Structure 1
Amino acid sequence: MFFPSTPDQVAQRDAFLQELWLDYVHTHPDIAALRLWPTDTPPAYFTLLTLNHGSYGTSYLTPALTRLGYIAVAHYAMADKGLLISLLAPENGESWLVLAELQTGTLCKAPRDALIDLMQQAPMTEGETHSVFHNGRPWPMPTWQLYQSLCAAHPLAAWLSVMGPRLHHAGFDCQQLGLSLSTLDQQFREAGVMGGESLQHGVFPVSNLLDHRFYLTTAQKTVFAEGDEHRICLGGLAIVQKHVSDAHEQVAELLLPHHTRCEMA
């Protein structure tokens, strides 16, 4: 059940979403350059990626998001992906939040210890603050060797080592955009952006109640510790379309497939 937000909550939530979006398009200038729909169209959902370590964990971040007026409506464990996922609902008409937390315990000992050692080099934080998602990577840049080892262990661990807790991708609803998925896919191709049904790049598998395309952003030159330079892809954008257009659920509520998720109390 929703309780009306106070003016202060609305202002803080608007500021949070603006900072989140500005950090996202700054990190992915090719998304900022797209003009396939009105630029003021809000995403159906934001997928935020973090990990279960200290003040970056869901248990610390969810209360901060709740104070902005979001309500945690579902919690899911996806053991095959090493993720805990929380779905946070906004007030009507705003973007949902899909908060995915990587469980470091699912990594083998060597990459897990290396990732935790890297994170422990971050300055102390106050905790329980939503600003962690748009303040950039809090720890030093990993070496290329560490990034490669983390990528072999779990690609999302490698992504987090470079990006920190952050918005991984925004998801847009075809119905809200007023265009079919096939039309949008063609427009993306004409713009030179190629997509597919990659599950790993989209963080989690998507329910068969939706058609889904994930578009990788252009690989960017990234300077790792010790000066190594390599081009890597740092995120993307998702487009989803309901199979039943008049279904009353929001697309964020339909994202996770029932056969791969385990609802938590």
Structure 2
Amino acid sequence: MDNAAFFASLWDDYIAIAPQSARIHALFAADNATVINDHVAFRTFDTGPLCLSRLEPRLFDLGYRRHAPYAFPDKHLSAWGYASSDPDAPLIFLSELHVSALSTVAQDILTPLLASLDPALAETPAVFSAGRVWPAISYSDYRTLAAESEYAGWLAALGLHANHFTVAVHRLRTPTTIEDVLERVRAAGFAINDAGGEIKGTPAELLEQAATLADRQPVAFAGGEMHVVPTCYYEFARRYPDVDGRLYQGFVAASASRIFESTHRNPRG
């Protein structure tokens, strides 16, 4: 699978579970010849054959390299950012949840799921849009997990997907500021993640970010129960050049931590 096919497959999977993202993309495609994707992000568990160290070789196969590590101790997460030598290729952000940091109750829900996985799943880049590759959990278990870790509940219910794509605001013809981007998105009726403020980061940090709240779609749980839960969101990023004139290629952990909250069931400001 080449890079173009990889990202096209990710996009198709992403808008299938977050259809509002296609409508948001259209807001900018209307007056921009190309809407550049700044980065995509993935979530996984640190236990079993789909942990970060087993998944990232597929990114290396696509020409990516590790750029910088990130830690989110309050959310029991760690992550790496990945960059490509192709300046037009999206950055990638891959995070994993430290299962052993969760309660015994949460571990008892997750351990059987992860034990059921086929190690061969991680042998192809298609794994990144494979969805839920373990048996459906009960809605009660989903709520138990999400009450402790929204990330755990989301991942257990939905599986592997790009949880967001990102408009590269610095590559748009118009609008050119995060503020104007959000005004357009809000005017179209989409809710914005305001955890820690609508705009996370500053020009001094070389990265400004904002995001919608996740779409909400019906998801199948054990026993055939269907419940509407948060799925994926759309992000907006404006990058700035460093003192050497190079566009910043990293992420800001404090900002990313609040962006994670776009998929919370009950977002807070």
Q: Following TM superposition, by how much is the alpha carbon of 1:71 offset from its aligned partner in structure 2, in angstroms?
A: 0.9
* CA contact 1:207–1:254 (8 Å) conserved in 2: no
Q: Cα offset for 1:173?
A: 2.4
Structure 1 unmatched ranges of 5 or more: 1-10, 261-265
CA displacement at 1:211 relative to structure 2: 3.2
In proportion to residue count, which structure has more helix?
2
SS of the aligned residue for 1:192 comes to coil
TM-score (norm 1): 0.82
Which one of the candidate residues 83, 86, 89 is aligned to 2:77?
83
Relative to the length of structure 2, the TM-score reads: 0.81
Contact 1:120 1:139 in 2 (8 A): no
What is the alpha-carbon distance in structure 2 between the residues aligned to residue 206 and residue 100 of structure 1? 19
CA distance in 2: counterparts of 1:61 and 1:218, whole angstroms = 26
| 8 A Cα contact 1:75 1:86, kept in partner | yes
State how many pairs are aligned. 243
Secondary structure at the residue paired with 2:122?
Answer: coil
Q: CA offsets per residue over residues 207-229 of structure 1, 9 Å max, x none?
A: 44233222023311223212333
Contact 1:144 1:225 in 2 (8 A): yes
Residues 19-58 of structure 1 aligned to structure 2 (within 5 Å): 19-34=9-24, 35-38=26-29, 40-58=34-52
Give, in angstroms, the shift of residue 157 of structure 1: 0.3
What is the CA distance between 1:195 and its match in structure 2?
Answer: 0.2
Shift of the alpha carbon at 1:196? 2.5
Residue by residue over 1:119-162, the C-alpha shift from the partner in whole angstroms, topping out at 9 and shown as x without a partner, is 33345535343221112210122111000000011000001111
Q: Equivalent residue for 1:62?
A: 56
What is the distance in 2 between the residues matched to 1:251 and 1:239? 15
Which residues of structure 2 form unaligned runs of 5+? 258-269
8 Å Cα contact 2:77/2:97 also seen in 1: yes
- Deviation of 1:252 after TM superposition, in Å, equals 4.5
Any idea what SS the aligned residue of 1:165 has?
coil
Deviations 1:5-57 (A, max 9, x none): xxxxxx62221111111111111111112312128423111111111122211
Aligned to 1:98: 93
CA distance in 1, matches of 2:16, 2:112: 28
Is the CA contact (8 Å cut-off) linking 1:74 and 1:87 kept in structure 2?
Answer: yes
Other-structure match for 1:240: 237
CA RMSD in angstroms comes to: 2.5
Write the letter of the residue equivalent to 2:74: D
Q: For residue 132 of structure 1, what is the aligned residue in structure 2?
A: 127
**Matched AA of 1:174:** V
What amino acid does structure 1 have at the position aligned with 2:103? C
